[in-house]
Amino acid sequence: MKSSFCVALFASALLAFGSACAQQPIVIKFSHVVALDTPKGKGAEQFKKLAEERTKGRVKVEVYPNSQLYKDGEEMEALQLGSVQMLAPSVAKFGPLGVREFEVFDLPYIFDSYADLHKVTEGSVGKLLFQKLESKGIVGLAYWDNGFKDFSANKALKLPADVKGLKLRIQSSNVLEAEIRALGGIPQKMAFSEVYQALQTGVVDGTENPPSNFYTQKMHEVQKYLTMTDHGVIEYAVIVNKKFWDGLPADIRTSLEGAMKDATKYANDIAKKENEDALEGVKKSGKTQLITLSPEDKAAWKKALVVVHREQEGRIGKDIIQTVYKETGFKP
Ligand code: LMR
């Protein structure tokens, strides 16, 4: 009597434990460095919503924006170690990981439009770059757009020569380093989370970013001029820890792939407008003066910067650069 009671008790405890385990959602920690109110911030929230809906709560996505969890220089290692499962770094940040070919996206003026950019992200180079991540224990899921970068400073940068001697913050890309040197400036690699303060205290004189980052990080409070150079892009690679991804139940992975596909469309559909709205916000603030360029002045920036393409062939690979030229129709 007593022993059968014990068996029953044990069996029901086991059942309760089993169902508690079954109910534990799979958690995806998704860390990024920008504000919520940006194309990437909104894209991440959209992915969370779709992923949780479509897996009926079997997956929980925790989004950590604004470098809350990890900042540049820390997040890739955290992903490889499995401390976070998902990131969306700018493609300018893959050099330190050993996949420097991503820096092809940093070549000045290589893209004229979002359409050009998509030809590459959706073409052979986009695929090749993701293949290169596999040996690092990382899977590339999608490319997300932000927008075209402009230079800012407390000095009016009308022509390339105005950059001479200025310290400009850049992301951790050697191509961007070469870009600033081509202008006679002094490049300073720095984590995104430190840029506002570095501009405020004069550690650097200026920087480059699309309006959405410039505005949401309040850089307009500490930069007097923003020049509409549109000389490069900020593009993101949404990446996951390979071991985690491959270990997911197949039906869950399929649902997440679908959620990512739709979140990608959403993020890329809003990117342009988000940047236009942010630029409007900068204008309205009255704190930063916008410098628009005449076609002649724009040509001067282009001339000063495209020298970087040739110079960086060794780093990126001539074949990759040539393929991008073919895909976008860029003429050096
Ligand atoms: C930067 O570091 O300037 C940006 O790439 C940040 C981001 O993720 O947009």
Report the pLDDT value the prediction gives residue 8, as an integer from 0 to 100. 54
Q: Does domain 25-328 have CATH number 3.40.190.170?
A: yes
Q: Does 213 sit in the ligand 1 pocket, CB within 6 Å?
A: yes
Q: Which two tokens stand for residue 60?
A: 């929980």
Cα–Cα distance for residue pair 44/37, rounded to 1 Å: 11
Residue 181 CA to residue 173 CA, distance in Å, equals: 13
The answer to whether residues 146 and 271 touch, using CB atoms and an 8 Å cutoff, is yes
Q: How far is the CA of 282 from the centre of ligand 1 (A)?
A: 18
For ligand 1, the distance from its centroid to the CA atom of residue 231, given in whole angstroms, is: 15
Which atom of ligand 1 is nearest the CA belonging to 38?
9
For a ligand 1 pocket test, name from 143, 190, 209, 223 the mutation site with the most ligand atoms within 8 angstroms of its C-beta: 209
Which atom from ligand 1 is nearest to the alpha carbon of 192? 2
Phi, psi (deg, nearest 5) at residue 141: -100, -35
Number of the ligand 1 atom closest to the C-alpha atom of 234: 5
**pTM for this structure?**
0.93
Q: Token pair for residue 7?
A: 């068996």
Domain boundaries, the chain: 25-328
The Cα-based distances of 132 to 55, 102, 128, 129 in angstroms read: 29, 10, 6, 5
The per-residue b/e assignment along 229-238, b for 16 or more CB within 10 angstroms, e otherwise, is bbbbbbbbbb
216 lines ligand 1 (CB under 6 A): no
**Phi, psi at residue 206, to the nearest 5°?**
-165, -175
SS3 of 70-103: the string is CCCCCHHHHHHHCCCCEECCEHHHCCCCCCHHHH
209 lines ligand 1 (CB under 6 A): yes
Distance from C-alpha of 175 to C-alpha of 321, rounded to nearest angstrom: 13
CA angle 186, 190, 140 (to 5 degrees): 120
Q: How far apart are CA 66 and CA 77, in angstroms?
A: 18
Mutation pick for ligand 1 pocket among 37, 90, 214, 216 (CB with most ligand atoms within 8 Å): 90
Residue 22 is predicted with a pLDDT of 58
Residue 6 is predicted with a pLDDT of: 46
pLDDT of residue 19: 52
Ligand 1 pocket, mutate which of 170, 194, 196, 213 (most atoms under 8 A from CB)? 213
78 HSE (CA, 13 A, CB side): 19
CA of 256 to the centre of ligand 1 (A): 25
Q: Does the beta carbon of 192 sit less than 6 angstroms from any atom of ligand 1?
A: yes
* Mutational pocket test of ligand 1: of 34, 179, 217, the residue with most ligand atoms within 8 Å of the beta carbon: 34
User: In angstroms, rounded to a whole number, what is the distance separating the alpha carbons of residues 304 and 311?
Assistant: 13
| Ligand 1 geometric centre to CA of 325 (Å) | 25
Phi first, then psi, for residue 28 (nearest 5°) are: -110, 115
- CA distances, 150 to each of 69, 91, 99, 208 (Å): 28, 17, 25, 5
Structure tokens at 177: 């380093």
pLDDT of residue 1: 42
Nearest by Cα to 62 from 87, 28, 88, 39: 28
DSSP string, 10-69: HHHHHHHHHHHHHHSPEEEEEE-SS-SSSHHHHHHHHHHHHHHHHTTTSEEEEEE-TTSS
For the chain, residues with pLDDT lower than 50 are 1, 6, 9, 14-17, 20
Is 234 touching ligand 1 by the criterion CB < 6 Å? yes
